[in-house]
Amino acid sequence: MIKTFRGKLADGGQDTIRLSTNNGMIGYRIKKFQAMGISENETYESAIQLFTFKQATPSAEVHFDNSELLAAILYADSTGSDDFAKQTIIFDHVTINQDIFVTFASIASSPAMNYYLELEQVKLDLGEATVATLKDMRGTN
pLDDT digits (tens, 9 = 90+) for 80-91: 666 667 788 888
Cα(122)–Cα(49) distance, integer angstroms: 23
- Range of the structural domain that residue 91 is part of: 2-138
Q: How many domains does the chain have?
A: 1
pLDDT digits (tens, 9 = 90+) for 68-126: 999 999 988 876 666 667 788 888 678 888 899 999 999 877 789 999 999 999 988 87
Count of Cβ atoms closer than 10 Å to residue 18 Cβ = 9
The model's pTM is 0.83
Instruction: Determine the straight-line distance between the first and last CA of the chain, rounded to whole angstroms.
Output: 23
